[in-house]
Amino acid sequence: MTPYYKAMARPASLALVCREARACRLCERHLPLGPKPVFLAGRAARLLVVGQAPGRRVHESGIPWNDASGDQLRAWLAMDRGAFYDATRVAIVPSGLCYPGTVNGADLAPRPECAPLWQPRFRAALPGVRLTLLVGSYAQAYWLGGRRKRTLAGTVRSFRDYAPQFFPLPHPSWRNRAWMKRNPWFEREVIPALRRRVERALRSRR
């Protein structure tokens, strides 16, 4: 566990955490479209998805992973939209809750203030989570810290090292298609294991 996880404050109710997250203005002056936290959480969730930060389309819709990257992620998970957005089973809390803007057509990194403030609070308010998907390098940097391998590929291929709590994944952006081609083991080895782990987590009881 990271120092952040060890240092989590006494759990607050999920309703309170959600209200305070939606009202957060910590990064307001850095956000080109203003604050609009995007997340989905229900106290009974068994699976937690931690990605990067909302893109422009997700910011506009207010629905997490409501874009082509979300389509690819759901394909990896073999989940349809109904199952993915069922807050009684799946929680979605990105490393950055708000759209950070773009530079040269690419999304900026999540604001660095966000994950240390909200990741531990949400995690503490989600006692039923059995598996956390760390989608992309920012989520892995926060939750795995020094346990990461030298490269994202190394971290993803070593997914068994982070069981049973975490499962690291590349970000499912179209920009990573070349990465997929260079690493055919991902679809061959990682995706089947991912689906088994997710199915087990969603079936689990306290």
| Tens-place pLDDT, residues 162-180 | 999 999 999 999 878 899 9
Residue 1 reports pLDDT greater than 80: no
Residues 91 and 173: their CA atoms lie apart, in Å, by 20
Answer whether residue 8 shows pLDDT above 60.
no
Counting DSSP H helices and E strands in the chain, the numbers are 11, 6
Instruction: Kindly list the structural domains of the chain, giving each domain's residue range(s) and its CATH number in brackets, ordered by start.
Output: 3-203 (3.40.470.10)
Rounded alpha-carbon distances, angstroms, from residue 23 to 103, 109, 189: 26, 21, 41
Cα separation, 53 vs 70, in Å, equals: 12
**Mean pLDDT along residues 147-174:** 97
Say whether pLDDT at 5 is over 60: no
Please report the pLDDT score of residue 7 as a whole number: 42
> What is residue 206's predicted lDDT score, i.e. its pLDDT?
59
DSSP string, 137-161: HHHHHHHHGGGS-SSHHHHHHTGGG
At 10 the pLDDT is 62
Predicted local confidence at residue 4, as pLDDT: 37
pLDDT band at residue 105 using 50, 70 and 90 as cut-offs: confident
What value does the mean pLDDT take over residues 65-76?
Answer: 97
